[in-house]
Structure 1
């Protein structure tokens, strides 16, 4: 006689929720061996084996749709699919590591703040998320070796730079009602340029090269998130222009004319 179990019993024995079993039944992945006239579901020992197969393939990262496809095949040619699945898992591993890194950096940087403006926080996380794309974009404008050096810095130094950048961003947003030429604003711009200089070895040349490039598309807008509103960006640009003019640098637009200060 074949042992049979109600859905509740089968759920307890397999540590699988009744809701999940209902869903597996609904999509045709694991149907109960018997359904009574009153609609009661019953599972058998054979269903234990099927569920074990499902959970094993789920452990390997396969979707329920993929698992269902496997079950429809008499034999499994797994070499290619396992190789592909391994690649997918490595990508997920990298994503998880990046998320953990972003959380670590965020917790370190905001430890001095009870509250932080969302735009500043999003900028921080976005810069970590889009690091690869930012490097690729920058290499289209400046020397690739310099770009690699900019990103290849010790973890503690990166945390220090990010924390300082957040502090400057928060303070600039607080002072954006002042004249861009105000000493307090200019001191913050100088701190910002000090960070750029520390990363590039030449703050003014780097800023000028980026500003004077003829950017033909707006892809950089997706790679870089600004914590500043459009009005704040305009105000910050005036403050930066004033700072650079004092240093003897004039930014130009794509046709070579001087940008308004």
Structure 2
């Protein structure tokens, strides 16, 4: 007589949990060979053979739905299934390598010694994930005016450690309820301007400076998906006030010196 196993025995024999076996039963993937009069599941050697197929197909990364379809059509060309699965796994392998490279880039960009909020890290990862599309957008919009040219360059700075850490600190100032005229806030903005100035100034030839002075040329708004703002609407308004305060303080200093 063919040996029968209770669900507990079958789980112990195969290494598959009872919970998984019940799930397979519920979705029709692996039905017990029979149910006792009290509704208990019984499995047979044929159940072992069926489970072996399921485990192998799952190892090949087929979904449970795909496994179910395959088991219903055992006559289908399995070599073709393997070829399709190999192509899909190659694509997944490339994706995983990209993810690992992105994680490594983020870890090297932002050290644990620097306090960075999770949202800033997610924006950095989003930028790295879409780097190719971002570069294409920049190439298409970098010409035409000095504003587009400046944005094309400064957009690349978003991937810099200094910018990520700076953004996190500014958001922390806002969360702490600091005012736009707070000296720490103004110093922080001025520090970023000082950081960017030597990088941006070489882009400003005489013609570019003339455009800026005369407010000439248009600005192509960046794709909001590819270039998401690190600040929400309320934080953006706060930043505008900070810049206004900084400009005002500079004007007052110049007048005092005069």
TM-score normalised according to structure 2 size: 0.68
RMSD, aligned α-carbons: 3.8
Deviations along 1:142-201, one digit per CA (max 9) or x if unpaired, are 48xxxxxx9xxxxxxx9xx6322222323444488249xx5652341231355668xxx8
* Cα distance in 1 for residues equivalent to 2:164 and 2:179: 15
1:212 is the counterpart of 2:218:
yes
1:188 is the counterpart of 2:186:
no
* Cα distance in 2 for residues equivalent to 1:134 and 1:61: 32
Picking from 223, 227, 230, the partner of 2:233 is 230
Q: Given that residues 7 and 42 in structure 2 are in contact (C-alpha distance below 8 angstroms), is that contact kept between their aligned partners in structure 1? A: yes
* Cα distance in 1 for residues equivalent to 2:196 and 2:238: 15
> Structure 2, unaligned stretches of length 5 or more?
144-152, 248-258
Structure 1 residue 27, shift from structure 2 partner: 0.9
1:38-49 alignment, distance < 5 Å: 38-49=38-49
* Cα distance in 2 for residues equivalent to 1:118 and 1:176: 23
* Cα distance in 2 for residues equivalent to 1:124 and 1:176: 27
1:100-179 alignment, distance < 5 Å: 100-108=100-108, 109-113=110-114, 115-142=115-142, 162-173=160-171, 174=173, 177-178=180-181
Q: Which position in structure 1 is the counterpart of 2:34? A: 34
Q: Given that residues 127 and 224 in structure 1 are in contact (C-alpha distance below 8 angstroms), is that contact kept between their aligned partners in structure 2? A: yes
* Cα distance in 2 for residues equivalent to 1:189 and 1:67: 58
Select the structure of larger CA radius of gyration. Answer: 2
Deviations along 1:180-231, one digit per CA (max 9) or x if unpaired, are xx5652341231355668xxx83787xx9xx93445xx7x211223222324
Q: Given that residues 119 and 226 in structure 1 are in contact (C-alpha distance below 8 angstroms), is that contact kept between their aligned partners in structure 2? A: no
Q: How many residues align?
A: 220
> Structure 1, unaligned stretches of length 5 or more?
144-149, 151-157, 244-261
